[in-house]
Amino acid sequence: MNNDLLHHAYDPEQFRQQGHQLIDRLADYLTQMQQEPHLAVLPWQSPEDKLYSWEADFDNSPQQNINQFFDRVLMESIHIHHPRYVGHQVSAPAPAAALAGLLSAFLNNGMAVYEMGPVSSAIERLVMKQIAHRIGYDTSGGGIMNSGGTLANLTAVLAARQIKTGHTTWQQGTHEQLALMVSEEAHYCVDRAVKIMGWGEAGIIRIPVNENYQMRTDQLEPYFQRAEQDGKKVIAVVASACSTSTGSYDNLEEIASFCRQHDLWLHVDGAHGAAAAFSEKYQSRVSGLSLADSITLDFHKMLMTPALTTGLLFKNESDSFATFSQQASYLLNEDEEDWANSGKRTVECTKRMMSVQVYTLLRTYGWKLWDENVTLLYDLAQRFAQLIRERPELTLAINPQANILCFRYAPSDVPDNLLSQLNAKIRQNMLEDGRFYMVQTQLKKEIFLRVTLMNPFTTESILSDLLDEIIRNGKELNFFYDRSS
Ligand SMILES: Cc1ncc(COP(=O)(O)O)c(C=O)c1O
């Protein structure tokens, strides 16, 4: 059999050459991004056109020039490191963490069992213990890592279900109508977790929010009482810290007190905002975080690692062993807890060596790096809010509590009923233009523009240009509406 291709695919010298070229290219790209290039943040093409152009590429395959392909991927992607990227909550990964990602991809130590990932398993244990301590858990605290906040939230509620139903549900199922309570502004993955567990729509009790889009804690008791009267067994509250749309932090201390009163599990979805715990200036945003039974924390959001890298922390680490447990024996025997074989506690079997990415940052820069990043982004959000307030054509939805801002173009001469349509069109025009990348969201059925400040190289002057561009677009569109009506 001729194995030429296989030898070629594993040729160390070719790898060295291609790797050097790629890293050089990425370093040049990063330099370019930091100098605020004139390049579009997102070189826009419709999905169909994009697919068509890659189909054409496929027809020319196979080609040996891998760097030409990498270069095309680079230039056609959305540029998260671009300082005018102010869109979704995805980090511009720090280069050291991206290098750790490459190492992880190459070594492929899958980690379900200790032998298949000795280093990353030990580092995962270490990192989770350190973070548990940092956020205020005592020595019982710890956790696991998995691929994404969505999966971590599901795993947390699975653990809650098992523990609050006397450790029987995993094995025997349940005929009770179980339910959890969550703010109506929570990320949609909480709703999905409930439906995946088979609790149906009755299993999710949506608590209304106040004018700052935070869960109304005064409504917890009446909603709980009503659920009980309806025959539901409420087992948990999921708090948002912070919410996705507006970056609003629920009052964790009040929610924790309610949970204590009714013996409910408190899970904090801190996928985005639990990172505030690392900022000396903003850690009060998550006061009461250590009262939670479990916490989701995405490192690939404000903590500068590539996706997906998520921690699921438990106040009592032994609870994490209950999630998929066939029996309660783990409670009786410390050895059974077996932290080193992480597949026992995660939905995933094989997973990436994500702990290495987190540890690379901690080991190289210490906790201070995250403090600097979160503080800078939250400070910038305050200054951005001020820039919005200074422009009478714009309205801020709420004063930002995090690095997420919702606002809209709403000059006094445009009727309220046109504002959603107008702002959606502004956002579409700007998406296709590509100079900035921001998103939109719906608040109380109205469309708002939404900015998340993720890049430490985004400046106040860039944000001022963004607002001018929004207003310019708004005026142009408004003129068009006026003439067409
Ligand atoms: C509050 C919150 N929870 C969960 C998620 C989902 O996280 P992931 O994308 O890591 O699955 C997000 C993502 O934006 C979020 O903002």
For residue 118, the domain's CATH number is: 3.40.640.10
Q: Distance between the two ends of the chain, CA-based, in angstroms?
A: 74
Ligand 1 lined by 187 (C-beta under 6 Å): yes
Q: What is the pLDDT of residue 378?
A: 98
* Residues 315 and 386 both lie in one domain: no
Residue ranges of the alpha helices (H) in 94-175? 95-107, 118-134, 149-164, 169-172
Ligand 1 lined by 269 (C-beta under 6 Å): yes
Q: Is 354 left (phi over 0), alpha (psi -120 to 50) or beta?
A: alpha
Alpha-carbon gap, residue 367 to 372, rounded angstroms: 9
Ligand 1 lined by 182 (C-beta under 6 Å): no
Alpha-carbon gap, residue 264 to 243, rounded angstroms: 21
Domain presence at residue 110: yes
Ligand 1 lined by 270 (C-beta under 6 Å): no
Domain presence at residue 80: no
Q: What is the pLDDT of residue 485?
A: 55
- For ligand 1, what atom is nearest to the CA of residue 310? 10
How far apart are the CA of 148 and the centre of ligand 1, in A? 7
How far apart are the CA of 303 and the centre of ligand 1, in A? 14
* Domain final position from 336, 366, 396: 366
* Domain final position from 366, 381, 398: 366
110, 76, 99: which is closest to 348 by C-alpha? Answer: 110
- What is the rounded (10 degree) CA torsion for 265, 131, 240, 232? -10
Ligand 1 lined by 189 (C-beta under 6 Å): yes
Ligand 1 lined by 149 (C-beta under 6 Å): yes
Q: What is the pLDDT of residue 326?
A: 64
* Domain final position from 366, 387, 416: 366
Domain presence at residue 142: yes
Q: What is the pLDDT of residue 330?
A: 47
Show the tokens assigned to 8: 């070629």
* Residues 348 and 236 both lie in one domain: yes
Domain count, the chain: 2
How far apart are the CA of 262 and the centre of ligand 1, in A? 27
How far apart are the CA of 450 and the centre of ligand 1, in A? 16
How far apart are the CA of 272 and the centre of ligand 1, in A? 7
* Residues 190 and 305 both lie in one domain: yes
pLDDT by residue for the chain (485 residues), tens only, comes to: 678 999 999 999 999 999 999 999 999 999 999 997 789 999 999 999 999 999 999 888 677 689 999 999 999 999 999 999 999 999 999 999 999 999 999 999 988 899 999 999 999 999 999 999 999 999 999 999 999 999 999 999 999 999 999 888 888 888 999 999 999 999 999 999 999 999 999 999 999 999 999 999 999 999 999 999 999 999 999 999 999 999 999 999 999 999 999 999 999 999 999 999 999 999 999 999 999 999 999 999 999 999 999 999 999 999 999 898 765 454 444 455 789 998 889 999 999 999 999 999 999 999 999 999 999 999 999 999 999 999 999 999 999 999 999 999 999 999 999 999 999 999 999 999 999 999 999 999 999 999 999 999 999 999 999 999 999 999 999 866 665 55
* Residues 207 and 168 both lie in one domain: yes
Alpha-carbon gap, residue 10 to 14, rounded angstroms: 8
Domain presence at residue 407: yes
- DSSP 8-state class, residue 342: G
The reported pTM is: 0.96
How far apart are the CA of 297 and the centre of ligand 1, in A? 9
318, 292, 313, 334: which is closest to 167 by C-alpha? Answer: 318
* Of 157, 252, 298, best ligand 1 pocket probe by most atoms within 8 Å of the beta carbon: 298
Show the tokens assigned to 417: 């009923």
* Residues 393 and 297 both lie in one domain: no
How far apart are the CA of 182 and the centre of ligand 1, in A? 15
Q: CA 26, 27, 29: angle at the middle one, nearest 5? A: 60
Show the tokens assigned to 50: 């994009």
Ligand 1 lined by 272 (C-beta under 6 Å): yes
> Which residue has the CA at smallest separation from atom 16 of ligand 1?
244
* Residues 392 and 285 both lie in one domain: no
* Residue 458, domain extent: 369-484
Show the tokens assigned to 465: 């240009």
- For ligand 1, what atom is nearest to the CA of residue 301? 10
Ligand 1 lined by 156 (C-beta under 6 Å): no
Ligand 1 lined by 393 (C-beta under 6 Å): no
Ligand 1 lined by 150 (C-beta under 6 Å): yes
Ligand 1 lined by 215 (C-beta under 6 Å): no
Q: What is the pLDDT of residue 481?
A: 65
Q: What is the pLDDT of residue 327?
A: 57
Q: What is the pLDDT of residue 331?
A: 46
417, 418, 419: which is closest to 409 by C-alpha? Answer: 419
